[in-house]
Structure 1
Amino acid sequence: MKFWTLAFTMKWVTADALKGAVITESNPFGEITAEQYKEITGIDFE
């Protein structure tokens, strides 16, 4: 999660692009949870 927090803070990745790293049914190999996504971006994962 530290990498994704840094990447978002430094604007290397947008909130929309970060959705691709979230673990979902269609993406079981993601790296962060929906809760971590909200911690990083401040936006609920949809």
Structure 2
Amino acid sequence: MQFWQIAFMYKWVTAEQLRLAVKTETNPFGEISSAQYKEITGQDF
């Protein structure tokens, strides 16, 4: 998760792009949970 925090902080990825890294039923290979997404972006997944 630390990589994604840094990437978002330095604007290497947008919140919309970060959604692609969240593990879901349709994306079982995601790297972060929806709770981690909210922690990084401050937005609900």
Q: Tell whether the structures are fold-level matches, with TM greater than 0.5.
A: yes
Instruction: Please give the root-mean-square deviation of Cα atoms over the aligned residues, in Å.
Output: 0.2
TM-score by length of 1: 0.97
Q: Tell me the TM-score normalized by structure 2.
A: 0.99
**Aligned residue-pair number:** 45
Q: Look up the match of 1:8.
A: 8
The superposition leaves residues 7-42 of structure 1 with CA deviations (integer Å, 9 ceiling, x where unpaired) of 000000000000000000000010000000000000
Q: Find the residue that maps to 1:36 and give its secondary structure.
A: helix
Which ranges in structure 2 are unaligned for 5 or more consecutive residues?
none
Task: Kindly report structure 1 stretches of 4+ aligned residues shifted beyond 6 Å.
Answer: none
